[in-house]
Chain A
Amino acid sequence: MRKPETVAESVSQPVSPSSGQGSDHGITAPLTVPVEPVSEVRRFLLARGNSALADRSFSALMMTCAISIFAIVVLIATELVSQSQLSWSKVGFKFFYKFNVDPTTNLPLFWDPVNGDFYALPFLYGTLVSSLVALLIAVPLAIGVAIFLTEMSPRFLRGPLSFVTELLAAIPSVVYGLWAIFVLVPLLREHVNPVFISIFNNPTSVKLFGWTGLVGDDGLFGGVNLGLGLLASGVILAIMILPIIASLTREVMSAVPHSQREAALALGATRWEMIRIAVLRNARIGIVGSIILGLGRALGETMAVAMVIGNAAEIHRSLLSTGHSMASVIANEFSEATSDMHRSALIEIGLALFLVTILVNGLARLLVWAVTRGTPARVS
Chain B
Amino acid sequence: MKAGVQQNKVRSAIRTMVDHLATGLAILATILVVAPLIAIFAYLIYKGASSLNLAFFTQIPKPIGESGGGMANAIVGSGVLLGVASLLGIPIGIGGGIYLAEFGRGTRFANAVRFTADVLNGVPSIVMGIAIYSLIVFQQKHFSALSGGVALGIMMIPTVTRTTEEMLLMVPNSIREAALGLGVPTWRSVLSITLKTASPGVITGCMLAFARVAGETAPLIFTALGNQFWSTSLNEPIAALPLQIYVYAISPYDDQHRLAWAGALVLIILIVLAVSLVRYVASRGILKGAS
Interface residues of A (CB under 8 A from B): 48, 51, 54-55, 58-59, 61-70, 72-73, 75-76, 79-80, 82-83, 140-145, 147-149, 152-153, 161, 163-168, 170-179, 181-183, 239, 242, 246, 270-273, 275, 293, 296-297, 299-303, 307, 327, 330-331, 334-335, 346-347, 350, 353-354, 357-358, 360-362, 365
Contacts and interface: CB of A to CB of B under 8 A. Distances in A.
Nearest to A161: B30
Contacts of B267: 172, 175
Contact of A270 (B16, B103, B115): B16
- Which 9 A-B pairs rank lowest in CB-CB distance, beginning with the nearest? A172-B215, A144-B29, A300-B124, A65-B95, A58-B187, A51-B185, A361-B122, A272-B22, A270-B19
Contact of A347 (B96, B130, B242): B130
B113 A69 contact: yes
Interface residues of B, number: 95
Contacts of A145: 26, 29-30, 33
A337 B158 CA distance: 31
24 contacts: A51-B186, A58-B190, A65-B96, A66-B110, A66-B161, A68-B92, A76-B123, A79-B135, A148-B27, A152-B23, A172-B242, A173-B215, A175-B40, A175-B44, A242-B33, A271-B22, A272-B19, A307-B250, A334-B129, A335-B225, A346-B130, A347-B130, A347-B134, A357-B123
Interface string B6-42: 0000000001101101110111111011101101100
B128 interface: yes
A152 B29 CA distance: 13
B126 A350 contact: yes
Contacts of A62: 95-96, 98-99, 102-103
Given A174-B246, A353-B126, A167 B275 contact: yes
Contacts of B43: 179, 182-183
- Secondary structure of the A contact surface, majority rule: helix
Given A73-B119, A362-B115, A66 B33 contact: no
Contact of A170 (B36, B44, B249, B272): B272
A213 to B, nearest CB: 30
Contacts of A143: 29
Nearest to A157: B30
Contacts of A68: 92, 96, 157
A173 B47 CA distance: 18
Given A66-B95, A73-B119, A148-B29, A175 B245 contact: yes
B257 A182 contact: yes
A46 to B, nearest CB: 14
A79 B131 contact: yes
Tell me which of A152, A165, A178 has the highest count of chain B C-beta atoms within 10 A of its own C-beta.
A178
Contacts of B92: 65, 68
Interface stretch (B54-62, B68-76, B216-224): B216-224
Nearest to B36: A239
Contacts of B121: 361
B185 A362 contact: no
B268 A175 contact: yes
